[in-house]
Amino acid sequence: MRTLSTPSPALIFPPNSPGFQNGRGSSTSSSSVTGETVAMVHSPPPTRLTHPLIRLASKHQKEQANIDRLPDHSMIQIFSFLPTNQLCRCARVCRRWYNLAWDPRLWRTIRLTGETINVDRALKVLTRRLCQDTPNVCLMLETVIVSGCRRLTDRGLYTIAQCCPELRRLEVSGCYNISNEAVFDVVSLCPNLEHLDVSGCSKVTCISLTREASIKLSPLHGKQISIRYLDMTDCFVLEDEGLHTIAAHCTQLTHLYLRRCVRITDEGLRYLMIYCTSIKELSVSDCRFVSDFGMREIAKLESRLRYLSIAHCGRITDVGIRYIAKYCSKLRYLNARGCEGITDHGVEYLAKNCTKLKSLDIGKCPLVSDTGLEFLALNCFNLKRLSLKSCESITGQGLQIVAANCFDLQMLNVQDCEVSVDALRFVKRHCKRCIIEHTNPAFF
């Protein structure tokens, strides 16, 4: 018969942290290295205490503990709000809490944070405990979030890939020690994975199946990875060739974020549009090599595109905006901050064709003036968020036109704009729910 065990709170906290010092370690600890987070395995708490004095004190405490009167389903509901480390702590209180804390319904998600955590060992211990009823497989685990855990390595991801076939969401942002091979293992062995966040993982340059998985699957299925949400923000070494491979394998993508992937060019976007025709949200902010030709490729998404961020793409002008405005008529969000080539003509194309626009950021576009705001006000009545930060040509007159027509405006950013206090008060009177971000000390 297998002996049940519980990961200690030390699995989450370093031994010298205050949270660990309040409790006592166990003689069954698997490691006692000073200064680093370790994983420990404990047996479940004893059913009863044998010493008479301790038993008397325990009886008195039990009478005072109103929480013990709650039924199991209420306790499980309370436990469901606790992070992974606190859930492990609760499992050490008593046998009843131990059994409740390891209820499968509470372990659909593992969330670990902290730079000092030995994440590889933590994942190994947790998955081993969760695999006791179904050896070597965690059928209930669907989400793993270990963002910011810099000690996570390929070994930890391999543990997830081997033990969690039902995984649907994985977030490892900021874990810069993981490589392509570990990511390949996860997407190959977790066929239901839909949400993948590898932002800040500078060694990741591609998303693909392993060679073994590609051989086992048919040629058609071998190109079908079920990922729909992919965040590769700050993956600096991602190039067009890698984006081509991603597009060819992840054809079901609907949300793709490539912020600050500075090596991506228009050619990479051409590959993307060939394979991924269902994209609804796309960000290529700070991709300085993306130009109007890239906008022509993105425009092939047509009415499916709802969110687009091209902030600080200095090569984009009115020509690129015109492509988007002409074909992507259902666009709801556009961030074009810092695209200094955009003028009132580009805003006019956008306003007349994307009339359902709800959020627009054209800050630091010095060529946009009150004329462009007038086109927005007369066509985009559903506008809720508008950022005009550092637009040197904007005046109070343009803001008044917007406020008089866009009654649902909820956020207006006019920081570093030369607008009068009277204009700001006019906006506040007409758009009562609007929060105005400004740098005018006379308006409050």
Read off the pLDDT of residues 137-184 as tens digits, 9 standing for 90 and up: 888 889 999 988 888 999 999 999 998 899 999 999 998 889 999 999
- Count the residues in the chain: 444
Q: Which two tokens stand for residue 171?
A: 């977030």
Report the candidate in 195, 258, 249, 255 with the shortest Cα–Cα distance to residue 227: 195
Report the candidate in 360, 330, 358 with the shortest Cα–Cα distance to residue 347: 360
Beta strand segments in 177-301, E = 195-197, 229-231, 255-257, 281-283
- The yes-or-no verdict on residue 60 having pLDDT over 80 is no
Give the up-direction half-sphere exposure of residue 270: CA atoms within 13 A in the CB hemisphere.
8
- The yes-or-no verdict on residue 216 having pLDDT over 80 is no
Q: Which of the four pLDDT bands, split at 50, 70 and 90, describes residue 316?
A: very high
Cβ-Cβ contacts under 8 Å for 3 (sequence gap 6 or more): 43
pTM beyond 0.85, yes or no: no
Question: What integer best gives the mean pLDDT of the chain?
Answer: 84
**pLDDT > 90 in the chain, percent:** 59
Cβ-Cβ contacts under 8 Å for 4 (sequence gap 6 or more): 43, 44, 132
Which domains does the chain possess?
A: 71-106 (1.20.1280), 108-245 (3.80.10), 291-443 (3.80.10.10)
Q: Between vectors from CA 165 to CA 162 and to CA 166, what angle results, nearest 5°? A: 150
pLDDT of residue 182: 92
Q: Which of the four pLDDT bands, split at 50, 70 and 90, describes residue 24?
A: very low
Report the candidate in 319, 325, 271 with the shortest Cα–Cα distance to residue 297: 271
Confirm if 259 and 309 have CB atoms less than 8 A apart. yes
Instruction: Average the pLDDT over 272-277 and give the result.
Output: 96
pLDDT of residue 23: 37
Read off the pLDDT of residues 77-129 as tens digits, 9 standing for 90 and up: 988 888 888 888 888 888 888 888 888 888 899 998 877 788 899 899 888 88
